[in-house]
Chains A and B, each alone.
Chain A
Amino acid sequence: MTGTETKTQILEVSNLRKEFHTRQGKLVAVAGIDFAIAEGEIYGLVGESGSGKSTVGSMIVGMYASNGGEILFKGQDIDRPAAKRSKDLKRQIQLVFQDPGGSLNPRQTIRQILSLPLKLHRDLRGSALEQAVEETVDMVGLPLSYLEKYPQAIGGGEKQLVCIGRALAPNPSFIVLDEPTSALDVSIQAKISNKLLQLQENLGLSYLFITHNLCLVRNLVERTAIMYLGQLYETAPTEEFFTNPLHPYTQMLLASIPVMSEKEEAYKPSEVESVGEIPSPIHRPSGCGFHTRCPFCLDLCKTEAPRMTEVSPGHHVSCHLHTDSVIKEASRCS
């Protein structure tokens, strides 16, 4: 299954799986997911902790290979660690981490930090390198004097701008943004989000925006997908996703968000109460992973995992309630 058919896909993920072996047992972080991101699109991947959303991002940037499935980038299979990827591929896919403080080496100046990708990916040296570094800080809107500073000497938002600059320096076509604003204050988060939008538009980039913040996704991305216990539950164009959420988990999430005005309250499905805890990905529930918390749980949900189905153009749901009308008549479990 793929999303919008008219555009060319820059990234296609199918049946992607990733397992980790822990002392407590096998942890299934990603349990077979499919999605595709179009050229020039901002794609939002939403989930709570333990949903496996960051693992998906890590596999795309090549932190490790998957345990099955496929990642196609511009039609070419890239499912392997970065060390085994071509130089051009490494240049094209960049990433920005959650914690700007931890992703900048405290022993290097901003100039040194920004020089690394330019040297590695664009083979720049000497004055060409210097010029490119200066262009980069300029692009993200930081003053040139910052080049000689150490990361500790600048603010959190500014650090994240440096990280964004570092990701942009090699002229990538695709950026994985893993919670890029979560560690920042709201007022600074807005500034960074804005900058990201502006750069995406100017440079024609595609983003995979990974976050737990639904409100941010609502205002930033074109398509939204929701993940829970390593699986995708619902994906739709953002407007559709928020105005017509179908999966009970989506509804529960939306209903849980504390909002600032009555106008926003209207977007919250009121009938779904938040109950229970997220199960451990080591001890996954059988059938649909959400059945332990689902208010509409059927007997079938406990035994059989639902499959993604397209309910309206571009809107996919993985839920028995929306898969088969016959099942709806079946008895509800207590």
Chain B
Amino acid sequence: MTHHSIDQQPLLDVRDLAVSYKLYEGVLHVLQHMDFRVESGERVGLVGEAGCGKTTLLKAVAQILPVPPAKIEAGEIHFKGRDVLDNHKMSHRLVRRDISMILQDPTASLNPTLTIRTFMSDILKNAPHPVSKSERKIQMMAALEKVSMPSPERVLGSYPVQLSGGMRQRVCIAMCLLKDVDLLLADEPTTSLDVTIEKQILQLLNVLVVNNRKSMVLVSHALGAVRTMTDRTYVMYAGHLAESGATDTVFDSPAHPYTIGLFEATPKLSGEGVSDGIAGEIPSYLAPPPGCRFAPRCPQAMAICHEKQPVGTNLGNNHVVFCWLHAGTQEGDS
């Protein structure tokens, strides 16, 4: 994906976003200096371990952050050229109309007290052009068939408890399809599913996005899924960006020590043995390291890493890495 040019406006442009959570123990500075971009028709991957702020970023974009305890401290979120954080009714409507999100746990995403039919018709009742009951039924069935749901009629009358995990996630995707969105945010859509079902769901998502020329953000702990399904990838660590670039570049020649460590730590199907992993654990957000947040675990950390947060260095082709090791190797424009 190299067709990014300055004059073309990205579909989603997150600039310098900072989000914190205020808890009993204190303030958790989760996201900081987050820059994130999705072009029209682009599939973007977001990679990082549990608790690194991936979900927070997506929820901030979809405007479903639980406020309080969450708080947007700084930054802008531009969607279709409009800063949607301006708290304007129009921005809200824009986000609701054109962005959908699949959450990690399909069981938690579906209201346990409502049937699938009730939930789906509530969505349709809010469509810009309300339709009759029979038309709604047709649309619901069509959406369920699009996600290759076996026996959609029966599913419509079911409560979520009566469906398997895979079927629940299909239902969630079908619900996202009921409105014609431009951007689909998929937050670990397959983490709670078995690997054979994961494959089916990922394939389904990919087909739906590619065929309808939608944009998608795919967050996944399954690095392989991000590799095969996205054009560009962001790597996050502890609420900070570690590196970003074209997916192939990031996977073939990772530059950030965290990315390298993460990829090495992932067990390979080709059987290359077990790596040592990365020493230490994720820092506490209550008192994160003042410099690079990865510095305490980084095998190559220098003095400056513990003091100052690294700035982005463009290694070429928009492969940007936030690491002091690469500072000074700048190539082209930043």
Is there an interface contact between A190 and B270, defined as CB atoms closer than 8 Å?
A: no
Report chain B residues within 8 Å CB of A257: 195, 224, 269
Report chain A residues within 8 Å CB of B274: 190, 193-194, 197, 219-220
Report chain A residues within 8 Å CB of B202: 258
B221 on the interface (CB 8 Å rule)? yes
A311 on the interface (CB 8 Å rule)? no
A188 on the interface (CB 8 Å rule)? yes
Is there an interface contact between A255 and B281, defined as CB atoms closer than 8 Å?
A: no
- Alpha-carbon gap, A331 to B289, bound state (A): 66
Known contacts A188-B281, A258-B228, A215 near B267 by CB under 8 Å = yes
- Alpha-carbon gap, A266 to B224, bound state (A): 14
Is there an interface contact between B267 and A190, defined as CB atoms closer than 8 Å?
A: yes
Minimal Cβ-Cβ distance residue in A for B192: A49
**In the complex, how many angstroms separate the beta carbon of A264 from the nearest chain B beta carbon?**
4
Binding site for A on B (CB under 8 A): 49-50, 150, 164, 166-167, 194-200, 202, 221-225, 227-228, 251, 261-279, 281-282
Is there an interface contact between B265 and A156, defined as CB atoms closer than 8 Å?
A: no
**In the complex, how many angstroms separate the beta carbon of A201 from the nearest chain B beta carbon?**
12
- What would 17 more interface pairs be, CB under 8 Å, given A194-B276, A194-B277? A186-B49, A186-B221, A188-B277, A188-B278, A190-B275, A197-B274, A218-B270, A255-B199, A256-B198, A256-B199, A257-B195, A259-B268, A260-B223, A267-B270, A274-B199, A277-B197, A278-B197
Binding site for B on A (CB under 8 A): 48-49, 155-158, 185-194, 197, 212-216, 218-220, 238-239, 242, 252-261, 263-264, 266-268, 274-275, 277-278
Is chain A's binding surface mostly helix, strand, loop or mixed?
helix
Known contacts A219-B274, A275-B200, A49 near B281 by CB under 8 Å = no
- Alpha-carbon gap, A278 to B198, bound state (A): 12
**In the complex, how many angstroms separate the beta carbon of B257 from the nearest chain A beta carbon?**
11
Is there an interface contact between A218 and B261, defined as CB atoms closer than 8 Å?
A: no
**In the complex, how many angstroms separate the beta carbon of B227 from the nearest chain A beta carbon?**
6
**In the complex, how many angstroms separate the beta carbon of B279 from the nearest chain A beta carbon?**
7
- Alpha-carbon gap, A39 to B11, bound state (A): 60
Minimal Cβ-Cβ distance residue in B for A181: B267
Minimal Cβ-Cβ distance residue in B for A220: B274
Report chain A residues within 8 Å CB of B166: 277
- Alpha-carbon gap, A189 to B266, bound state (A): 9
Is there an interface contact between B49 and A187, defined as CB atoms closer than 8 Å?
A: yes
**In the complex, how many angstroms separate the beta carbon of A224 from the nearest chain B beta carbon?**
11
Is there an interface contact between B278 and A260, defined as CB atoms closer than 8 Å?
A: no
